[in-house]
Structure 1
Amino acid sequence: MSNIAATLKQQKEEFVSGLTGGSVSEINAVTSVATVAIVLWSILQSRQSFFQSYGGLAFVVDYSLNVAAILLSVTLYSNSPLLLCLLLAAPAAVVYVLPPNRTSSRRKPRVPPRADSKTAKQLDPLPLKPFLTTYRASMLVITCIAILAVDFRIFPRRFAKVETWGTSLMDMGVGAFVFTAGLVAARPVLKERAAGRSVPVMRRIVGSLRHSLPLLVLGVIRLLSVKGLDYAEHVTEYGVHWNFFFTLGLLPPFVAAAQAALAYVPSYAALALVTVGMYEMALETTGLKAYILTAPRVDLISQNREGIFGFLGYLAIFLAGQDLGMFVIPRKLNPRSNAAPGAERNTLLLTMGVWASIWCGLYALSTSYSYGFGLVVSRRLVNLPYVLWVAAFNSASVLGFCIVDTIFFPAFYNASDPKTEREAYLTATSRVLRAYNRNGLALFLLANLGTGLVNMTFNTLEATRFTSMAILVAYSFVLTVVAVALDTYEISIKL
């Protein structure tokens, strides 16, 4: 037992010394590239209506800003992401100071500052909001790029998933994927509440199994293909047989069962904290942490202990995302409010800012050695600080995209009828990002298949910088073309 404790202590000391994973500041610097690219896209659209007539040039620029820029930030510019931000910010400043395209601006729909009560009733109480589309799609693009780029030497090892302790870009990616899934899952719950329906827990669980089955099947397919093709894998990531699709597939029924607990806790956020808090207590006060990290793999449970026990942390992340969705998706925070659209938007921004601050504060409390609990982030354990880190980062990201949205496309929030609102939504969102958002899970599956195909075809570890970039650009471009093609033909693949 003393040897186990010594091993855990040494691993923590390595993390504190900076020997494992990348720093939070590096992750923020890389993801800031996506934000600056969105700002440049927004300026081109709002000032010059560059993407209003969507042709070949518009698609190339759209892809370059929202996909290729992210690819560059984790490869060629991985050591100087701030330089890439400056290279994107410079043309943004130039375009912003240029006179706006008056011809295009005259074609834009004019909307009154407020909608009258009769018309407002026709608006969807749960509209598609541009900043949510942008946020969700950007996280998906980063994830799809990273799962292949990690196999090349041009992708820094510090961005790959850490072994046990620490933070990295890909550690955030997997958490962000679950968080966004939770955010989207708030929509059907809001629809039920708006309709005044109360679905029994067992019926809700049975219904959720319909969404789980395809994901569980994909998990089995991935398991068989990985074992059959002898594909490289890290057992300490999820276990011997477990994979991310099993985690995604088991979330719906467990979340459905958790609905019953809302009679005793005030919100999904509270339920998330209770769930991960109890799990963290078990890690710290029992032998569970040592079991997960050091136990021999002798049976089915011990072989897949990371996936089985870490699922509790992912469940908490999903619930935290669902809590955010409960107030960012609706048109109004208070359905009975008669406040002007501008006031509603400001209230939403303030509420999002408060919650982002709460998650950041809790994360700081959990990790501080001076005035907190002194815990260390571990994606392998999916422990309390990891859950809080993911919730804080993603809440702040959603807030950032909402601020950009508010500055450049206020017309969406002042729309007076569904048609005008739809036009404003299309104007305020990238065609590429809309396409990724529309078929997110299907594209994630396609990205996994593409990753496997590339690894079976090329020796990625021996690829030169030129070859690596050529493959990654081709991969991301093909994935984007498929996404836009599906969107063009109005095809939605539900898994």
Structure 2
Amino acid sequence: MGRDDKNAKEAFVSGLTGSSIGDINTVSLVLPLSVLLWSVLQSRMRVFSPYTLPAALIDFLINCAAPLFATTAYADALWPFNLFLLLPTVFLFLTSRPLSLGPIPSRPPAVHTSMKQTALDPLPVKPFITHYRGSMIIITSIAILAIDFRVFPRRFGKVENWGTSLMDIGVGSFVFTSGVVSVRSFLKTEAGRHPPLLKRLLSSLRHSLPLLILGMVRLVSVKGLNYAEHVTEYGVHWNFFFTLGFLPPFVALFQSAFDIMPSYAVLACVLGAAYEIALDATSLTDYIVTAPRSSLISMNREGICSFFGYLAIFLAGQSVGSFVLPRQQPLRKGATIREIMKQSILAKIAISAMIWSVLFWFSTSFYGLRLGVSRRLANLPYFLWVAAYNTTQIGACCAIETLCFPNLHKAPTKEEEIQRSREATSSVLFAFNRNGLAVFLLANLLTGLVNLTVPTLQTGVLQSMAILVGYIAIVTGVALGLDRLNVTIKL
């Protein structure tokens, strides 16, 4: 890539004004609508059982092609596009009867059957979490390449300093989703007890090392290939893999605070508020936005300082994961509203989403703190926006699962519950969720390859869409292939 092309690409992706929260919510609506369409097809018609090649193609069209076209070719006709997904879904739901998920094939009873083989898992696999995380990884993978083409609207690209956009929420959502599932290991410990600090740090470092290595590989490759990059995103040397890599050890340190403050949500809010006070009460904001890049720290000040905001987002994700991952206790007939609010996971998600949304409104409202959202700073409004957005998305996926698969977790044995959960989960979304970080790394590598071989700014609509469809098809094929081979790459 020549210097003129690099400068043109940097100018193309910088200085964007972003889009409104409503516009972002409208384009994001395609994710739960795709999940709803898939769930109705499976619960009413068993389209994806068995999982044949035509079923895989339909799965790809619903969960990959739909988000791709919603953010590119149909970005200016989002409501008709969403209706295109919704209307056939409603028709099928109203005109067909649900088919129960079939039990697993009967097997001869073993001579020695342990309770572990039949007892229900206290932390069962939740298809709605898989659908939520898989959808988020897919749309993030789409956006990182689509942003380089003119078919991708500029309002969806990351803003410079203050504002909101689809890609701004995508970065925070990736961190939030990691927080949701990371709390599983803590919930598995006896009575939720924390291991000793040294043991937690050593364990976290094992998770961090591969991410930090990936960060170094990305740094060397970007600098060595003279690849176009936007310095104000994270800094001169910092990148998103470094942010992900430093999260585990800091989370391990913050877990010691649970002896004083036993709530992920409160801890996240305290950290977010403290960071916002530092931004507003000191010259930290001016330093991040305008300071000269004269030292290693100042060169990477965006990545270093915004890390505290992303840490708060990660903790907020853990707060949601702490009550959505455990098994829901069965509700008795005639349960009171108080009992429903206390036991229903969907009710807890709805309350959590409402609280995060109110806090976000207060932080940005004329009658509140009047703060601006800044992904570059990862400030308090950005943290609250990410928490509110993702909790709402999780709630939508949970509501869809409750509607389409109401008997999912009523299986008599663990083995049958696993079978039911697998049948109620999109194979494409399952595959993306299973190897999420590895697939995201592949998407980054393919993005670099396309940019080095294709003049993305000069390609027309048809050529751009052909490249993007081929790109997401390759990523999906690799994800499905790894899943079929039963390979899990943990990074």
Q: Same fold (TM over 0.5)?
A: yes
> Within 2, Cα distance between the matches of 1:35 and 1:261?
35
Q: Deviations over 1:285-312 (max 9, x none)?
A: 1100000000000000110000000000
Is residue 2:390 matched to residue 1:394? yes
Paired residues of 2:186 and 2:194 also in contact (CA < 8 A): no
Corresponding residue of 1:130:
127
Deviations 1:403-429 (A, max 9, x none): 000000012121221122112101211
Return the letter of the residue paired with 1:320.
A
Tell me the CA shift for residue 452 of structure 1: 0.4
> For the Cα contact (< 8 Å) 2:118–2:415, is it kept in 1?
no
Find the residue that maps to 2:175 and give its secondary structure.
Answer: helix
Tell me by how many angstroms 1:97 deviates.
Answer: 3.7
Structure 1 SS opposite 2:309: helix
- For each residue in 1:257-295, what CA deviation from the matched residue of structure 2 results, as whole angstroms up to 9, or x when unmatched? 001111111301111111111110011111000000000
Does residue 376 of structure 2 align to residue 383 of structure 1? no
Is 1:417 paired with 2:436?
no
Residue 256 (structure 1) aligned to one of 252, 255, 271: 252
Q: 1:328 aligns with which of 324, 328, 347?
A: 324
Q: Residue deviations 1:62-102, cap 9 Å, x none?
A: 0000000000010011111111111112221332244448x
What amino acid maps onto 1:79 in structure 2?
D
1:141–1:436 CA contact under 8 A, matched in 2: yes
1-structure distance, mates of 2:211, 2:162: 28
**Which position in structure 2 is the counterpart of 1:75?**
72
State the match for 1:109 in structure 2.
103
Residue number in structure 2 paired with 1:265:
261
* Equivalent position of 2:360 in the other structure: 363
Q: How does 1:278-293 map to 2 (within 5 A)?
A: 278-293=274-289
Matching residue of 2:90: 93
Q: Aligned in 2, Cα 1:19/1:400: closer, same or farther, shift over 3 Å?
A: same
State the Cα deviation string for residues 165-207 of structure 1 (Å, max 9, x = none): 000000000000000000011100101144x654111221121
- Following the alignment from structure 2 to structure 1, what is the Cα–Cα distance between the partners of residues 471 and 116? 46
**Correspondence for 1:54 among 28, 51, 56:** 51
Count of residue correspondences: 462
What amino acid is the match of 2:470? A
Q: CA deviation at 1:34?
A: 1.5
Question: Quick one: distance in 1 between partners of 2:79 and 2:117?
Answer: 44
| CA deviation vs aligned residue, 1:48-72 (integer Å, no higher than 9, x gap) | 1111111111011000000000000
Q: Which residue of 2 aligns with 1:13?
A: none
**Which secondary structure state, in structure 2, belongs to the residue aligned with residue 78 of structure 1?**
coil
Alignment partners' CA distance in 2, 1:266 and 1:494: 29
Q: Which of the numbers 236, 242, 247 marks the counterpart of 1:240?
A: 236
Shift of 1:121: 7.8
Matched, 1:189 2:180: no
Quick check: 1:126–1:331 contact (8 Å CA) kept in 2?
A: yes
Q: TM-score, normalised by structure 1?
A: 0.90
SS in 2 for 1:443: helix
Output the CA distance in 2 between the equivalents of 1:106 and 1:124: 21
How far apart are the structure 1 equivalents of 2:330 and 2:116?
Answer: 13
Closer, same or farther in 2 for the Cα pair 1:43/1:376, shift >3 Å?
A: same
Distance (whole Å) between structure 1 residues aligned to residue 117 and residue 217 of structure 2: 48
Q: Are residues 1:152 and 2:146 paired?
A: no
For 1:108, give the aligned amino acid.
G
Tell me whether 86-95 or 246-255 shows the greater mean CA deviation: 86-95
Task: Give percent identity, aligned residues only.
Answer: 53
* 1:216/1:245 contact within 8 Å kept: yes
**Structure 1 counterpart of 2:206, which letter?**
R
Query: What CA distance in whole angstroms lies between the structure 2 residues aligned with 1:404 and 1:229?
Result: 45
Structure 2 residue aligned with 1:21: 18
The answer for the alignment partner of 1:480 in structure 2 is 476
The list of structure 1 runs, each at least 4 consecutive aligned residues, that deviate by more than 6 angstroms after superposition, is 118-121, 341-346
1:209 aligned to 2:218? no
Residues 411 and 424, structure 1, Cα contact 8 Å, conserved in 2: no
Gaps of 5+ in 1: 1-17, 111-117
Could you tell me whether the CA contact under 8 Å between 2:267 and 2:315 is conserved in 1?
A: yes
Letter in 2 for 1:349: L
SS in 1 for 2:179: helix
The letter of the residue matching 2:129 is L
Superposition deviation, residue 19 in structure 1: 7.4
CA contact (8 A) 2:310 2:383 kept: yes
CA distance in 2, matches of 1:182, 1:364: 23
